[in-house]
């Protein structure tokens, strides 16, 4: 399969209210999702907003959120993904969850770079490994928000065709968001799909969306601007493969794990 159709979902969130957010997204899909898609992409902490109130808002891997994702996957015959607060063995994770229920496929990535300015590192446990999701002949790597600032972590050593960034990225850092996303796409020679939220959260922080999909050359394929919207785009793997053969830059990239720091 050469093409992959993805759906970016940009919306406000109900602060710390899982059931209302799941109900809200289900309503959006029923109203606006009129075409068959391969992947639905939701933002970071899509059930709660970017809260540090983990004790009152966590879920578990066999809880309400994952079961809801399974139902959506079956109903729309699609994969669905996004990040939520998960408690596991007494620790809390900002976890990106990927669900494709027709194949009983559930995979997850725990956010590596915890946002210290919001004290995320005090409440959550950091992940320590990248993952590669193989789906419909595509290689997909997920990341979460603050990871975007660390190119060595997002280095495309596994030759992902698509990198996904689920985020709660505030309006006041919009320039960084718009600069880093195409940069990651260009340097990693892959598509980037990034989803953000709009509105104000429970801490009064303003978000203005700007969810987008970029090509491997940094071209904007879709832009959600600052409104509530569902947008679809089809990604062409053949074009990506042709481009990589013509410009094999990834072969010359550094392996940061092998570099020595010389004093």
Distance of CA 152 to the CA centre of its chain: 18
Specify the 3-state DSSP secondary structure of 211.
coil
Place of tokens 């919306």: 11
DSSP SS3 for 77: coil
Rounded distance, CA 17 to CA 128, Å?
29
CA torsion sign for 57, 61, 67, 70 is positive
For residue 192, list its beta bridge partners. Answer: 163, 214
Q: Is 55 helix (H, G, I), strand (E, B) or coil?
A: helix
β-strand partners of 84: 95
Would you please indicate which residues are annotated as catalytic (active-site) residues? 44, 111, 145
Number of neighbouring beta carbons within 10 Å of residue 133: 22
At 171, list the tokens: 């309006």
Compute the Cα dihedral for 52, 129, 192, 75 and give only its sign.
negative
Radius of gyration of the chain (CA): 18
Place of tokens 């042709």: 242
């Amino acid at each position: 399969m050469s093409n992959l159709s993805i759906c970016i979902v940009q919306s406000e969130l109900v602060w710390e209210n899982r059931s209302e957010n799941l109900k809200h997204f289900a309503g959006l899909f029923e109203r606006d999702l009129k075409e068959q898609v391969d992947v639905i992409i939701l933002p970071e902490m899509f059930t709660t907003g970017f809260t540090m109130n983990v004790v009152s808002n966590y879920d578990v891997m066999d809880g309400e959120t994952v079961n809801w994702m399974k139902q959506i996957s079956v109903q729309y015959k699609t994969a669905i993904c996004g990040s939520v607060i998960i408690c596991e063995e007494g620790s809390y994770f900002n976890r990106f969850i990927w669900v494709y229920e027709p194949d009983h496929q559930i995979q997850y990535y725990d956010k590596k770079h915890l946002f210290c300015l919001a004290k995320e590192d005090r409440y959550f446990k950091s992940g320590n490994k990248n993952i590669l999701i193989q789906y419909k002949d595509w290689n997909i790597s997920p990341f979460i928000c603050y990871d975007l600032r660390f190119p060595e972590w997002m280095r495309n050593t596994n030759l992902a065709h698509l990198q996904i960034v689920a985020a709660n990225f505030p309006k006041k850092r919009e320039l960084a968001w718009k600069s880093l996303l195409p940069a990651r796409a260009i340097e990693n020679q892959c598509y980037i799909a990034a989803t953000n939220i709009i509105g104000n959260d429970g801490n009064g922080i303003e978000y203005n969306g700007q969810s987008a999909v970029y090509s491997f050359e940094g071209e904007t394929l879709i832009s959600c601007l600052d409104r509530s919207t569902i947008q679809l785009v089809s990604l062409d793997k053949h074009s990506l493969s042709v481009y990589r053969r013509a410009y094999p830059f990834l072969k010359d990239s550094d392996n940061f794990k092998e570099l020595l720091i010389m004093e």
